[in-house]
Every structure is written in C-alpha cells, then in structure tokens.
Amino acid sequence: MIKLLVVDDSALMRRLLGKVFGAQGDFQVEFARNGLEALAMLDSVRPDVITLDVHMPEMDGLACLDRIMLERPCPVVMISSLTEAGADVTLEAMQLGAVDFIAKPQGAMSLEIDDLAPLLVEKVRAAARARPRGSLRLAERVRLKISAPGLTPLSLPRPRQARTKLAGNGVVLVGTSTGGPPALDAVLGPLPADFPWPIIVAQHMPAAFTGPLARRLDRLCALEVVEVVRPIPLQAGKVFIGRGDADIIIGGRTGGPVVLAAPAAPEHRWHPSVDRLVVSAMDHFEAARLLGVLMTGMGNDGATTMTRLRAQGGRTIAEAEETAIVWGMPGELVRAGGADAVVPLEGIAGQLMEWLG
C-alpha cells in the first residue's frame, strides 16, 4: 500500500481527493487541514508521498514543504492554481524539494475532478517512487564544481566512449518532465554566455508555467532564456523554452532555421513533445550537428527519437539513475542503447562543454 497524506484546508478538496485515491485500491489515505497539522502527523503516518495545497491558514504550503524537507524528507506533489502567481510559487516549491505539481481545477471541482483523476493518480504514484533531493543546493554545488580552480570539465563524468569535439553550427535538444525545473537550473546555470550552440528545451508543463520558468532561468543563467511564443531565429548563447500545452519545433525560413511553437500534436501524449522536437531537428540538421539530452521524467518521451538520432551520427546524454527524480525518460533511452553518455545531473554541463569545447 502507498501511504498518502493529503494536506488541504478545503473540506471539499479533501473529500474529492480521498474519493479518487480510495478508489484505486492501493492507497492508504490520511488527511491534514493545514501545514501545522501535517507536520504533527509526519512521524505517526510516515507517508510515502504527500499532496500539498499552496494556500492554507496557519502555515502555507511553502513553509510546510520547507519543514518537511528538513524534518522528514518525503516526495511531495504540490496542488497549484493555473495562474502566473501560482506558477511562481510552484517553481519555488520545486526548488525547495517538491517532486511535481498538478493544477487545481479552475471551475466546479466536483465536476472536473473525474477528468483530472488519471493524471493525478499517475503523478502521485510516480512521486511515491521518486528520490527527493535538495535541488537548490545541488545547483549551487554544480556551479562550484564547474568554477573551482584547477577543475576542468574533463574532470567530470566521461562518456562511455571517447568522442572528438564537435565543431560548426548545431543545436542542443533537451527533454525533461517530472523534476525538470531544478534539473534545468543545475544544467543551464554553469554554462557560459558564449556557449556555442543554441539550446532548445521541451519541458512538460502547462502554458501558465513556462513563461515564469523561462524568466526565472533567465535571471539565474549567463545564457539568455526565452519562452517561444512566435518564430525566433536560432542563435548561439540563447536557450529556447517550449510554451506549455503546445509543441516546440524547428522550422525552415529563407534566412535560416527558426524555433517556433506549434499546436500540440494529438499523437503525442505529453507537451511540449520531446519526440516531435527531435524529429523536426533531424528534418533541418544533419544528425552530427545535433546533441540530445534526456533528463528526469516519467514515461518515455524522447527515448525512441534520440536513439534514432544517435544511430544516425548524433550524440546523446541520459541523466544517470542516481540523480534523476524519476528515471523514466532517461532510463528508456539507456535501455534502448541510445545514450552515448550516462551522466549524473551535476556532470551534464561539463559533458556539454567537453564535447563543444
């Protein structure tokens, strides 16, 4: 049985979530009305996973999450509103250690909860198997490791086979899902402003969240980070974040390739789709001019296409199991034989700089 603690000040939300998880047959559900009550229950309930509302009286979700991570680290899924303010708070929660989030229904909760239930159950089950980590401290350790005197990127984890440095123009393609925002911070933060290739990121996330994510990364990184809402020419020194609930692809223009948002393709389950991004890149670049990175996330988005990319002469990195919050997407890439390098999160930036000089 999965021991779940539902923390929400709304009696209706507690009842609806209890109904959803109680119907699964493998959840033992306990309830807390606020953060203080949840903290008092940690030792007695010893939950495998927690769902945590953001706005609560007496102690809000962020303060409660911070205490949970200090007192008894446990996978936490935030219940967040689909607003820009909700997005900022949710991203802060993921820096504090939350594994994932799900958007609270915007209309009548009792009517919308049935549509939301399959995704909610899937995310909470995945979170129960996840490895919580101190992501903000990890990002700081990565920056220290990259910049430490006498330590070069060659000191970081190496690919399984030595490969020559890449030259000329190309593109880095990054795919991630559950646990992705702090992982992106850890990978993009150490890269220099003159990084030679543009980076395109497909992070599974709703549209209300990708703009705040891009702005937050832009403040933290030497590279310029933008959300793609219109066609933009590919340019070195920039990171392009795919708009949520849509797909991000590379397209051709007379002046050269551009990155653009496209309506979500129904044949892909998750958006922005990593698979669709990689296919579009291979339509406009030789495989040898592409470098794929697949990081933490449930499912297999990107694994098949990045395996094909490697087979045709591209290079790929899979995040190692020991650092991935959920070793779904990168694990599928490794199992398919599609990873040139299997690298802990703190070594991915160094591996990119080693290959690209």
Whether residue 292 contacts residue 314, with contact meaning beta carbons closer than 8 Å, is answered with yes
Residue 88, Cβ density class (10 Å: 0-12 exposed, 13-18 middle, ≥19 buried):
middle
Is-catalytic flag, 204?
A: yes
- Mark out the alpha helices in 241-273 (DSSP H runs): none
**Could you report how far apart the first and last alpha carbons of the chain are, in Å?**
49
Residue 96, phi then psi, degrees to nearest 5: -80, -15
Strand order in the sheet with 258-263: 232-233, 258-263, 246-251
Is-catalytic flag, 177?
A: yes
Choose, from 80, 135, 177, 280, the residue flagged as catalytic: 177
Whether residue 99 contacts residue 202, with contact meaning beta carbons closer than 8 Å, is answered with no
Q: Which residue type does 282 have?
A: M
Q: Which residue type does 304 have?
A: T
The number of residues in the chain equals: 357
Choose, from 100, 275, 301, 340, the residue flagged as catalytic: 301
Closest CA relative to residue 172, chosen from 230, 238, 262: 238
User: Containing H/E element for 317?
Assistant: strand 315-319
What span, in angstroms and rounded, lies between the C-alpha atoms of 331 and 294?
Answer: 9
Choose, from 204, 271, 275, 340, the residue flagged as catalytic: 204
Which residues are catalytically annotated? 177, 204, 301
